[in-house]
Amino acid sequence: MNAAIVTRKITDSQETLIIQRPKSGLCLNGNIQVPGDKSISHRALMLGAIAQGETIIKGLLLGEDPRRTAKCFSLLGANISELNTELVKVQGVGLGQLKEPSQVLDCGNSGTTMRLMLGILASHPECFFTVTGDNSLVQRPMSRVAKPLTQMGAQIWGRQGGSFAPLAIQGQKLKHIHYHSPIASAQVKSCILFAGLMTEGKTMVTEPALSRDHSERMLQAFGAQIEIDPETNSATVVGPAQLKGQNVVVPGDISSAAFWLVAAATVPGSELLISNVGVNPTRTGILEALEMMGANIVQENQRVVAGEPVADLRVRYGQLRACEISGGIIPRLIDEIPILAVAAMFAEGTTVIRDASELRVKESDRLAVMATQLQRLGAKVTELPDGLEITGGMSVTGTDVESHGDHRVAMSLAIAALNANGSTYIHEAEAASISYPDFITTLQEVCG
Residues catalogued as catalytic: 335
**Is 324 or 358 the residue whose CB approaches ligand S3P more closely?**
358
Smallest separation, CB 427 to ligand S3P (Å): 22
Q: Three-state secondary structure along the chain?
A: CCCCEEEEEEECCEEEEEEECCCCCCCCEEEEECCECHHHHHHHHHHHHHCEEEEEEECCCCCHHHHHHHHHHHHCCCEECCCCCCCEEEEEECCCCCCCCCCCEECCCCHHHHHHHHHHHHCCCCCEEEEECCCCHHHCCCHHHHHHHHHCCCEEEEHHHHCEEEEEEECCCCCCCEEECCCCCHHHHHHHHHHHCCCCEEEEEECCCCCCCHHHHHHHHCCCEEEEECCCCEEEEEECCCCECCEEECCECHHHHHHHHHHHHHCCCCEEEEEEEECCCCCCHHHHHHHHCCCEEEEEEEEEECCEEEEEEEEECCCEECCEECHHHHHHCHHHHHHHHHHHHCEECEEEECCCHHHHHCCCCHHHHHHHHHHHCCCEEEEECCEEEEECCCCCECCEEECCCCHHHHHHHHHHHCCCECEEEEECHHHHHHCCCCHHHHHHHHHC
**Is 210 or 264 the residue whose CB approaches ligand S3P more closely?**
210
Rule CB under 6 A: choose which of 28, 186, 323, 330 binds ligand S3P. Answer: 186
Number of residues that bind ligand S3P (CB under 6 A): 11
**Is 292 or 361 the residue whose CB approaches ligand S3P more closely?**
361
Smallest separation, CB 18 to ligand S3P (Å): 28
Smallest separation, CB 349 to ligand S3P (Å): 27
Contact characters 143-182, ligand S3P, x per CB under 6 A: ----------------------------------------
Smallest separation, CB 363 to ligand S3P (Å): 8
Smallest separation, CB 144 to ligand S3P (Å): 8
User: Applying CB under 6 A, does 210 fall inside the site for ligand S3P?
Assistant: no
Number of CB atoms found within 10 A of residue 205's CB: 25
Rule CB under 6 A: choose which of 15, 34, 39, 373 binds ligand S3P. Answer: 39
Residues between 356 and 375 that touch ligand S3P (CB under 6 A): 358
Applying CB under 6 A, the span of 124-132, 186-194, 236-244, 287-295 interacting with ligand S3P comes to 186-194
Smallest separation, CB 394 to ligand S3P (Å): 29
Cβ contact 80:88 at 8 Å: yes
- CA end-to-end span of the chain, whole Å? 10
**Is 237 or 347 the residue whose CB approaches ligand S3P more closely?**
237
Q: Which residue is nearest to ligand S3P (CB)?
A: 39
Smallest separation, CB 435 to ligand S3P (Å): 8
Contact characters 109-128, ligand S3P, x per CB under 6 A: ---x----------------
**Is 21 or 407 the residue whose CB approaches ligand S3P more closely?**
407
Rule CB under 6 A: choose which of 123, 136, 187, 373 binds ligand S3P. Answer: 187
Q: Which of 324, 331, 333, 265 is CA-nearest to residue 294? A: 265
Cis peptide before 166 (omega within 30 of 0): yes
Rule CB under 6 A: choose which of 185, 280, 284, 351 binds ligand S3P. Answer: 185
Rule CB under 6 A: choose which of 64, 106, 335, 406 binds ligand S3P. Answer: 335
Task: Return the ∠ at Cα 292 (arms to 291 and 294), rounded to 5°.
Answer: 60
**Is 203 or 419 the residue whose CB approaches ligand S3P more closely?**
203
**Is 20 or 220 the residue whose CB approaches ligand S3P more closely?**
220
**Is 55 or 112 the residue whose CB approaches ligand S3P more closely?**
112
Contact characters 249-288, ligand S3P, x per CB under 6 A: ----------------------------------------
Applying CB under 6 A, the span of 86-94, 185-193, 199-207, 418-426 interacting with ligand S3P comes to 185-193
Q: Which of 62, 199, 186 is CA-nearest to residue 120? A: 199
Rule CB under 6 A: choose which of 44, 142, 146, 334 binds ligand S3P. Answer: 334
CA distances from 22 to 1, 162, 446 (A): 9, 52, 14
**Is 37 or 402 the residue whose CB approaches ligand S3P more closely?**
37
Binding residues for ligand S3P (CB under 6 A): 39, 112, 185-187, 190, 211-212, 334-335, 358
